[in-house]
Chains A and B, each alone.
Chain A
């Protein structure tokens, strides 16, 4: 069976600014994503099924205890937030066995090269400078499709489909000019 193209991708957007939440939600929806927008990294972790206390010794058995009601295909988060920053959130996600393969995108109003590099090194797929544009959001689908193909290939039920893997060249130019 082909990639379930009819099931929408679900993006979790995290930003403490309600204006920016409204903006990113609208941008994502014009690309036909299903969106959940929250105002803190802590809330994001709750949705992802992670709770702070258990994060240090995280394993899949703990993850199943906090049943994820909704599947999240991508997380897009602001960098500067009070409490837990977007960078902290990124790290927690990448440290989690069950969540580390979910693509994470960072947004920031400040063009700080060391910040950008740190996020990319930590595993962020993209780094968008604010205000985020439609052209930025258009870059998201390839990451999501790649994840979905990877998921399907890892399914034991499905047969290997050699032709299915998209020839995809990752965009290395992540820093916005």
Chain B
């Protein structure tokens, strides 16, 4: 595949992720902050997001598995962090799961929280796969000597 084709594929894939709600405008803002002096900015921030999320999902699993009684303040604190970081990178569906999750924390509803945890894990996995696919496309473009296109924010 030649570079132009790969670039078009990258643009189409990014747009589809936005249309399907996996990513929102914040992700596009991140891309705008990337330039020749900071060529890995998006990958670096998203990598931090992967690390933080995996840690938080583990912490949440542990916190909700307490037979002696769930500490909902702690659960809420973890979800708050996950909501914040997903919002900061534009992982919209993960963020929306967190919003629902926090409501159930407030209600101290363990079963609902466990269901939310399952959901947020699923959404996180999806987001991670899609972002990794996108980054692989980027690597292919750059390996072929091309550059990552700029996406119009108002599409």
Contact = CB atoms under 8 A, between A and B. Distances in A.
Interface residues of A, number: 15
Contacts of A138: none
Contacts of A109: 80, 83-84, 87
A134 interface: yes
Given A131-B29, A134-B29, A22 B87 contact: no
A160 interface: no
Contacts of B108: none
Contact of B85 (A17, A26, A27, A134): A17
Describe A's contact surface by its main secondary structure: helix
B33 A19 contact: no
B146 to A, nearest CB: 23
Interface in A13-59: 17-20, 22-23, 26-27, 30
B13 interface: no
A22 B45 contact: yes
Contacts of A133: 29
A20 B38 CA distance: 17
Interface residues of B, number: 21
A63 B88 CA distance: 36
A19 B29 contact: no
B81 interface: yes
Contacts, number: 46
B89 interface: yes
A19 B49 contact: yes
A26 B33 contact: yes
A130 interface: yes
Nearest to A132: B88
Given A130-B84, A130-B88, A133-B29, 4 more contacts: A19-B85, A23-B45, A109-B80, A131-B87
11 contacts: A19-B49, A19-B52, A19-B85, A20-B88, A22-B44, A23-B45, A23-B88, A26-B38, A130-B84, A130-B88, A131-B87
